[in-house]
């Protein structure tokens, strides 16, 4: 692999990796908030599920 | 009306889906925001993954090498979208700050708070990929020319905003300070854009957005535009998902505080 390709590969890895890490962290944070909210306010979670079923 | 946040100084966030009101305040209702964003987010994320898959494969394997720069020109497909997001995202932060300061839009505060770490990441990636491009082309990782320095200032503004809005116990005060910083820092965005025209820089002048015809061949321009669209969609999906999580976390805090108060009274 030439030096030019090494620079290209590292650039792509940095950008894709950065976005991927942030996306995974956001998914975990989002899921944790959703789960905690469903525990604290089960009525609101049920309302949301009903609405989703109605839409489907 | 029931409210979501009881932390000191926080603007009340209505919880239930209230009847629609006029203008942007129609979307200030967190219940409605969660409902709308919950429908949009999966489509936005899917579109981002698809567009990025096509754009990056096109840029990496199908587009031709440059006659002068060779294969290194492929860094363009990740570096330029990061630069667009760094500047465009900051313009979005400035608009959100105006909404927050003038119209006191409660969701604008949360959106700005969640936007700045993503914007800081895009700017850091722009600087890092630029450096990786600069070494083989210019023979140096870094040079203190106007474009590079103004982008570094933009990175510090993003970091400053992210830190400032989190530095106050009073969330509204933090949001107000952050909005003021964002609006002052917005002066830097045209400086970044026009630095290559106003000063003599090692960085090349604009080639895609220059008046008249773009200075790029279509074989390079089209994959660049696809990558730009893909990264913009991914950026928007990330900010939307983070804002959704922040709205839910506020609601959790409010419910925990309400439960603690009830326990105190009992």
Residues from chain B that touch A42, judged by Cβ atoms under 8 A, are none
Flag if B241 and A37 touch (Cβ within 8 Å): no
Q: What is the 3-state secondary structure (H, E, C) of B134-199?
A: HHHHHCCCCCCCHHHHHHHHHHHHHHHHHHHHCCCCCHHHHHHHHHHHHHHHCCHHHHHHHHHHHC
Distance (Å) from the C-alpha of residue B81 to the closest C-alpha of chain A?
10
Q: How confident is the model at residue B24 (pLDDT cuts 50, 70, 90)?
A: low
CA A18/CA B117 separation, integer angstroms: 12
Structural element, H or E, at residue B79: helix B76-102
Q: Which residue has the higher pLDDT, A25 or B9?
A: A25
CA B144/CA B33 separation, integer angstroms: 44
Flag if A22 and B249 touch (Cβ within 8 Å): no
Give me the pLDDT at residue B13, please.
52
CB distance from A7 to chain B under 8 Å? yes
Residue B12 has pLDDT above 60, yes or no: no
Q: All domains of chain B, ordered by start, with CATH?
A: 39-208+219-258 (1.20.120)
Could you tell me if A23 and B236 are in contact, meaning their C-beta atoms sit under 8 angstroms apart?
Answer: no
Residues from chain B that touch A19, judged by Cβ atoms under 8 A, are 121, 231, 234, 238
- Coil vs helix vs strand at B211: coil
CA B20/CA A53 separation, integer angstroms: 23
CB distance from A35 to chain B under 8 Å? no
pLDDT > 70 fraction of chain B, expressed in percent and rounded: 87
Query: In chain A, which residue's Cα lies nearest the Cα of B38?
Result: A52
Give me the pLDDT at residue B116, please.
95
Give me the pLDDT at residue B218, please.
86
CA A8/CA A15 separation, integer angstroms: 11
**Per-chain mean pLDDT for chain B:** 86
Flag if B248 and A40 touch (Cβ within 8 Å): no
Tens digit of pLDDT at every position of chain A (56 positions): 788 899 999 999 999 999 999 999 999 999 999 999 888 877 766 665 555 444 44
**Could you give the angle at the alpha carbon of B84 between the alpha carbons of B78 and B89, nearest 5°?**
120
Distance (Å) from the C-alpha of residue B256 to the closest C-alpha of chain A?
8
Residue B213 has pLDDT above 90, yes or no: no
Could you tell me if B47 and B101 are in contact, meaning their C-beta atoms sit under 8 angstroms apart?
Answer: no
CB-CB: which of B71, B242, B248 is closest to A34? B248
Give me the pLDDT at residue B156, please.
97
- Coil vs helix vs strand at B94: helix
Give me the pLDDT at residue B195, please.
86
Distance (Å) from the C-alpha of residue B15 to the closest C-alpha of chain A?
10
The count of C-alpha atoms lying within 13 angstroms of the C-alpha of B260, restricted to the half-sphere facing its C-beta, is 7
């Amino acid at each position: 692999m030439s030096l030019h390709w090494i620079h290209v590969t590292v650039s792509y890895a940095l950008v894709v990796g950065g976005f991927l890490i942030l996306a995974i962290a956001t998914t975990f944070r989002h899921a944790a908030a959703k789960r905690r909210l469903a525990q604290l306010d089960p009525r609101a979670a049920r309302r949301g599920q009903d609405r989703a079923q109605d839409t489907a | 009306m029931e409210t979501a946040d009881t932390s000191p100084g926080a603007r009340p966030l209505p919880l239930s889906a209230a009847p629609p009101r006029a203008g942007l305040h129609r979307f200030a209702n967190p219940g409605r925001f969660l409902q709308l964003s919950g429908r949009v987010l999966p489509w936005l994320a899917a579109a981002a993954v698809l567009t990025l898959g096509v754009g990056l494969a096109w840029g990496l394997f199908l587009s031709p090498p440059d006659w002068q720069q060779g294969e290194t020109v492929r860094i363009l497909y990740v570096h330029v979208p990061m630069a667009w997001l760094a500047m465009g995202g900051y313009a979005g932060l400035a608009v959100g700050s105006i909404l927050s300061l003038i119209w006191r839009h409660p969701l604008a505060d949360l959106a700005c708070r969640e936007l700045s770490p993503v914007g800081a990441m895009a700017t850091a990636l722009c600087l890092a990929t630029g450096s990786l491009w600069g070494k083989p082309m210019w023979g140096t990782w870094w040079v203190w020319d106007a474009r590079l320095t103004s982008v570094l200032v933009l990175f510090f503004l993003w970091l400053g905003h992210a830190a400032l809005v989190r530095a106050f116990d009073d969330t509204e005060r933090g949001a107000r300070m952050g909005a003021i910083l964002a609006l002052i820092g917005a002066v830097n965005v045209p400086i970044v854009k026009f630095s290559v025209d106003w000063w003599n820089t090692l960085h090349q002048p604009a080639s895609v957005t220059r008046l008249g015809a773009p200075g790029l061949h279509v074989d390079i321009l089209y994959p660049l535009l696809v990558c730009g669209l893909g990264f913009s969609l991914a950026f928007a999906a990330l900010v939307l998902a983070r804002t959704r999580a922040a709205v839910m976390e506020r609601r959790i805090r409010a419910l925990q505080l309400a439960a603690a108060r009830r326990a105190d009274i009992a």
